[in-house]
Amino acid sequence: MDTLFKFAQEPLEKMGVDLWWTDYWFDGKKLPRGKIPWTSELYTLWVNEAYFRHSERRGLRGQDFTRWGDWGDHRHPILFSGDTWMLWPTLEFEVPFTANSGNTGAFFWSHDIGGYQGEADGELLARWAQFGAFSAALRVHSKNMSYVSLPPIDKRPWIYDKMVEDSMRASYHLRSMLFPYVYSSARQSSEESVPLSRPLYFESPAVEEAYHNPQEYLYGDAFLVAPITKPGTGPQKVWFPDGVWYDWFTGERFEGGTQKEFSKGLDSFPLFARGGVPIPMQPYAERMATEPLKTLVVRVYPGEQGRFDLYEDDGLTQDYLSGHYGLTPLSYRRNGARSP
């Protein structure tokens, strides 16, 4: 591995490569019996460990983008869900799969938005992008089918219908504007060992309904997300945990402990903000994390007293471990009459 890094990886890193996607899967079952002392998962785990350590060179923050290497591998990578099919049932499966992965300590799952292989579907791609905007990474990727005499799959939004393009633009812009919240929530995951995308029962373990609504999840402390995972406008059932919740797109208010079905066009989806929690945002930027936050935008809906900690650091090094970071507490208190 030292030789591989020295002669194959480091020359490219000097040219500007920041992150390696170790997109491999080692199948030990194909080797002659007795020739290898570990399974495919252990091999993946070991390589992920090696790449993660290598990424920490010169004081950099460890990072790896790879496949799941089984128990223990949650320490290392941004994971992805593999070569998924472009099917609506796949998207429907990915939502609870991503949230439930937090049960193993795998807090940062990402996906090939729209699916990796199959027949391209603009509507599916747009709905998957809405889900991806509220996951670990909003990242499109697909298989080049030209080597089997099939046209390559193209995920560029502007080659699809305008409705699909506009929907995907909205998802990407929302992700950019919410980056201060996303980054702060990722820090919370690291500090408090809670998933970024978390099942409802993480917050409401004594409530039976929290175990029977896998189509929705909490994204950090402030958001409730229930992606639409079927063709058309829905409907999608949403059960609201304790508190007060507001539709991000319409501002409509909902009480905790209630349930409702929502139908949403491609320009929106069931996304709800918790009342009383200040949500740190920023103006839209094409490259949302390349410079320090200059303009802070705080969005908060009426509710009980709440707070949120805005977290900032250099995003590259391990200096934050020695206290080199900014932590800005944001608090909200409503005086006077309760909201209607």
Q: In CATH, what number is assigned to the domain containing residue 225?
A: 2.60.40.1180
- From residue 53, how far is each of 6, 47, 72, 111 by CA, in Å? 14, 10, 15, 24
Query: Is 240 within 8 Å of 209 (Cβ atoms)?
Result: no
Write out the residue range of the structural domain in which residue 113 sits: 15-161
Number of domains, the chain: 2
What's the token pair of residue 140? 């499109």
> Where does residue 114 fall: left (phi above 0), alpha (psi -120 to 50 degrees), or beta otherwise?
left
Q: Which 8-state DSSP code applies to residue 168? A: H
Go through 98-131 and write b for each residue having 16 or more CB atoms within 10 A of its CB, e for each that does not: bbbbbeeebbbbbbbbbbbebebbbbbbbbbbbb
The pLDDT profile of the chain, 340 residues, written as one tens digit per residue, is: 899 999 999 999 999 998 888 876 655 555 555 455 445 567 788 888 999 999 998 899 998 888 887 788 888 778 888 889 999 999 999 999 999 999 988 999 889 999 988 888 999 999 999 999 999 999 998 887 655 556 678 899 999 999 999 999 999 999 999 999 999 999 999 999 999 999 999 999 999 999 999 999 999 999 999 999 999 999 999 999 999 999 999 999 999 999 999 999 999 999 999 999 999 999 999 988 888 899 999 999 999 889 999 999 999 999 999 999 999 999 999 887 555 4
Q: What is the CATH number of the domain that holds 109?
A: 3.20.20.80
Does residue 314 belong to any structural domain of this protein?
yes
294-300: long-range contacts at Cβ-Cβ below 8 A with a sequence spacing of 24 or more?
Answer: 296/180, 297/177, 298/330, 299/273, 300/276, 300/332
Are 248 and 292 part of one and the same domain? Answer: yes
Does residue 172 belong to any structural domain of this protein?
no
Does residue 168 belong to any structural domain of this protein?
no
> How far is 293 from 315, CA to CA, in rounded Å?
12
Strands, sheet with 244-247, edge to edge from the N-terminal-most edge strand: 197-198, 217-219, 223-225, 271-274, 244-247, 253-255
Are 102 and 234 part of one and the same domain? Answer: no
Please list, in sequence order, all residues whose beta carbon lies within 8 angstroms of the beta carbon of residue 309, skipping any fewer than 6 positions away: 184, 188, 327, 328, 329, 330
Residues 19-50: tens digit of each pLDDT: 888 876 655 555 555 455 445 567 788 888 99
Does residue 47 belong to any structural domain of this protein?
yes
Are 288 and 201 part of one and the same domain? Answer: yes
> How far is 134 from 258, CA to CA, in rounded Å?
23
Are 52 and 104 part of one and the same domain? Answer: yes
Please list, in sequence order, all residues whose beta carbon lies within 8 angstroms of the beta carbon of residue 299, skipping any fewer than 6 positions away: 273, 278, 279, 281
Q: Does the bond joining 235 to the residue before it have cis omega, within 30 degrees of 0?
A: yes
Residues 201-211: tens digit of each pLDDT: 999 999 999 99
> How far is 77 from 66, CA to CA, in rounded Å?
6
Q: Which amino acid is at 113?
A: I
Residues 253-270: tens digit of each pLDDT: 999 999 999 999 999 999
Are 142 and 219 part of one and the same domain? Answer: no
Please list, in sequence order, all residues whose beta carbon lies within 8 angstroms of the beta carbon of residue 104, skipping any fewer than 6 positions away: 71, 74
What's the token pair of residue 294? 């200059």
pTM of the shown model: 0.92
**How many other C-beta atoms are found inside a 10 Å radius of the C-beta of residue 90?**
20
Please list, in sequence order, all residues whose beta carbon lies within 8 angstroms of the beta carbon of residue 214, skipping any fewer than 6 positions away: 95, 96, 99, 100, 199
Does residue 4 belong to any structural domain of this protein?
no
List the alpha helices (DSSP H) in 157-315.
162-177, 179-192
